[in-house]
Amino acid sequence: MVATGAVDRALDQRSSRSMDREAAGSSTQDSAVADVLKTPEQKAREEAARKAAAAKKAADEAKKKAAEQPTPVAGLDQTQMNNAKAIVDTGKAMGLPKQAYLAAVMCALQESRLYNLASYALPESWSYSNQGGGSDHDSVGLFQQRPSAGWGSIRDIMTPSYAASSFYQRLVNVSGWQGMALTYAIQAVQVSAFPDAYAQHQDQAQTIVDALAP
């Protein structure tokens, strides 16, 4: 037989749950009644307040996002400056010196004008976030790296932080790179047909890097 005390406790618990449900139902009903009793003016004011709160939240989020973006310098637009920041931030995370950031930004200015480019030769590349396209073989991304040359998958190279880290990894493995003219250090990484072309971007790149890594 079940002890009388246990039965009583079970009945008490069921009764408590029932009262909780009734209270919740009563509260919902009260709220619904209150809504019905509101005047059109009250409803209009509440709706206006909700819209104002939503607009303020959206404005605050937009302001926060804008504050996180670096101010463009050296003639760049916001997209280019954001990409430069991604390059510099990657170098910082790898513990590299400022000279490495300068080389990377010089390179990206020459190769892609600091835009993350897809390739017309690689349809897959258009599946990823991009800022236009190029037609130099299968070159993609900020540094125009080629999947066929072992730089990584198309998806990887189209990711700015990955592309930058790949550039840096090869740069630091160039013997004596810090003592070279940067255009030749970059050329040792990129193996471009125009090794002197990077030099023309050094002053602009210096301004960009100084703004991002003062």
Residues 6+ apart with CB under 8 A from 101: 87, 88, 91, 92, 209, 212, 213
Please name every residue paired with 134 in a beta bridge, in sequence order, or none if there are none.
119
3-class SS of residue 57: helix
Q: How do residues 64-91 score in pLDDT, each as one tens digit?
A: 555 579 999 999 999 999 999 999 999 9
> Is 189 within 8 Å of 107 (Cβ atoms)?
yes
Average pLDDT, the chain: 85
Q: Where are the beta strands (DSSP E) in the chain?
A: 118-119, 133-134
Domain boundaries, the chain: 4-68, 78-212
Q: Which of 15-19, 101-105, 132-136 has the lowest mean pLDDT?
A: 15-19
The first and second tokens of residue 204, run together, are 């602009």
Least confident of 52-61, 80-89, 139-148, 192-201: 52-61
Using alpha carbons only, what angle is made at residue 120 by residues 149 and 104, rounded to the nearest 5 degrees?
50
Tens of pLDDT, residue by residue over 12-71, are 555 555 545 554 555 556 665 667 678 888 887 888 787 777 766 755 555 555 557 999
